[in-house]
Structures are given as structure tokens and as C-alpha cells.
Amino acid sequence: MFLETVQFLIKTIADLFVLVLLLRFYLQVARAPFKHPLCQFVMAATNFAVLPLRKLVPSLRGYDSATMLLAWLVSMVSSVIILSLNPMYSLAAPETWLALTLLAVLDVFKQSLTLLMGAVIVQAVMSWVNPYNPLSPILDALTRPFLRPFRRATVGGVDLSPLILFLIIQVILMLPVQFLENSFLMQLKVVMQ
């Protein structure tokens, strides 16, 4: 019981930090206004880890590769810690490290989709409740490229593009992502036997 609680805490804290790192990355890609309090929070919460890593990892074509690498590292380290706490698993086999590496990449992708889904939901709800909220420009910057292909989907003046994007994200999470995740986990189980 205690071990499960520790594993849950490690996974939750790591996932939250990965989400904040990904938010930092995507806010920079979307060129969101960095004077906003949310952007200021994201920068303050991640600067301690990102700024030292930027000295070692240069940006790639204008993208903050240090932030993305750090998100992957946090996901990888949390998986390694959780597996090392479980006596059934051994981290000695190279196949284990390959499976953990691929699981961490997949986890960062899943977290990115979760972040996009959350932004779409919050943006849709806020458009009904308070369309002139100060958070609207940031949400619009994050979601606009993904909603643009579906903007023509309107029924009776209601924009259905958030619903379509939400369904597409869910299908991606349910089919290819779940299949890959199960494949990597099976690889881990095969290596452990």
C-alpha cells in the first residue's frame, strides 16, 4: 500500500512538471504574450531546470529543444524510479532501457495531446461564459493551428470545431497511442521474465 502511494506521488508530480514544461514549449512556439500571468508562472516554475540545460543544449531551428529534452528526461526518470521501486523488475537489460526510452517519448506525446485537449475544453467553456477573458488570447494562440482545418463545421451558428478536434484527439489516444504503449509495456514484461 505504501509503495503504491509513493509510486502514485512520483508519477503525479512528474506528470504535472512535464505538463508545465510542455506548456512552456508550446507557448513559445505559439508566440503567446509572455506578459500574461500564466506565462510568467510557467517561466518561473521551469526556469530553475531549463536555463542551466539551455547552456548545454542549443535550440533547434528556433525551437526550445532544452525544454522538450527536459520533459522527456523527467518522464524517463520517473518511469525508472517507479520501476526500480518494484522488486519484480530489473533495469539491467538493454531492451528495458529501450522500452523505457520509447515509453517516455510516448508519454510526452500523450501529455501534449492532453494539454491540447485541456486548452480546447477551457477555450470552449470560456467562449460561452466569458469570451473576453484575459486567458482567451493565450488559449487561442495554442489551439488556433489545430482548430483552423475544422472552422467550417458550424451548425446553426455554433462552431463544432472544438468537438471535432476533441474527438480526433480521443481516437488518437485510444488507438495508436494505446497500442504503442501496450507494445512497449509487453516488451518490458517479456524482458523481465
Q: How far apart are CA 31 and CA 38, in angstroms?
A: 14
pLDDT per residue rounded down to tens, the chain (193 residues): 888 999 999 999 999 999 999 999 999 999 888 888 999 999 999 999 999 999 999 999 989 999 999 999 999 999 999 988 877 777 777 888 888 999 999 999 999 999 999 999 999 899 888 888 888 889 999 999 999 999 888 888 888 899 999 999 999 999 999 999 998 888 777 665 5
pLDDT of the residue at 103: 93
> Which residues does residue 193 pair with via DSSP β-bridges, in sequence order?
none
Query: Which residues, including other chains, have CB under 8 Å from residue 111's CB and lie 6 or more apart?
Result: 15, 18, 19, 22, 71, 75
For 72, the grid coordinates are 522527456
Q: Which of 120, 103, 104, 106 is nearest to 26 (CA)?
A: 120
Return the domain boundaries, the chain: 2-192
pTM for the full predicted model: 0.91
Question: Measured between alpha carbons, how far is 121 from 89 in angstroms, rounded to an integer?
Answer: 38
